[in-house]
Amino acid sequence: MTRTTLLCVPFAGAGPSFFHPWRELAADRWRVTSVELPGRERRILEEPYRNVQEAAKGVIDEVVADLGEGGRTVLFGHSLGAVLAYELAHLLGERGVHVERLVVSGSPGPWTQRERRAAGLPDEEFLARVEEFAGFRHEALDHPEMRELILPVLQADCEMHESYVPSTDEPLAVPICSLRGADDGLVSAEEARQWRAATTADFTWAEFPGDHMYLVGAGREVLDLIARQSLSEQQ
């Protein structure tokens, strides 16, 4: 039996390494892999994208090659990663790659833009706004050398996210599950449920304890939920 690939799409400022612990948590349930965007980790010297659609088109060939032929794929994305995963789901459909489910996290529906923004603010105001959004401050930003590397990518990611407009009004024919932290002050429960309109297939949603970045400590719980949904779909 072919193992399902769980393709993870990082949130603003993050790279594939965030999801490395998920490989062990997933055990033999899935092959966990991640989208590698320019400007971070192994691609740190490359210019980051500032447009979600350009980013999706820029990585789709690598994603298709990584997924291979005939496999089963679940897409997962948090915040910026959610809308990027949504665009990738459309592109994968055009390539004939079957997506079993799209799991979006910490994101309003794709047609809803954030009212309070961080892009374009001076550095300190920008970081304060991002800290307010996320509910925490990454300790690396307090080290000048690391900040010099991370800040431009984080600014590009925020610009990319806050200027996002979907490439199409056509909903996916892929089941969507929308997740959020119960205390998320950035994405309301109503906004998380807006994803219902983004699919003609089944829609489910769930909440976890925590704020916008609940994901940091909830990897096992998120994977267990995806596993339960996949199992119920097969029965």
Distance CA 195, CA 108 (A): 7
Distance CA 74, CA 4 (A): 7
Distance CA 91, CA 87 (A): 6
Q: Identify whether 79 is a catalytic site residue.
A: yes
| Active-site hit among 17, 34, 79, 167 | 79
- Look at the block and give the residue holding tokens 């291979």: 68
Which residues, in sequence order, are bridge partners of residue 199?
Answer: 172
Which residues, in sequence order, are bridge partners of residue 176?
Answer: 102, 203
Which DSSP string do the residues of 218-234 spell out, in sequence order?
Answer: -HHHHHHHHHHHHHHHH
Q: Which residues are catalytic?
A: 79
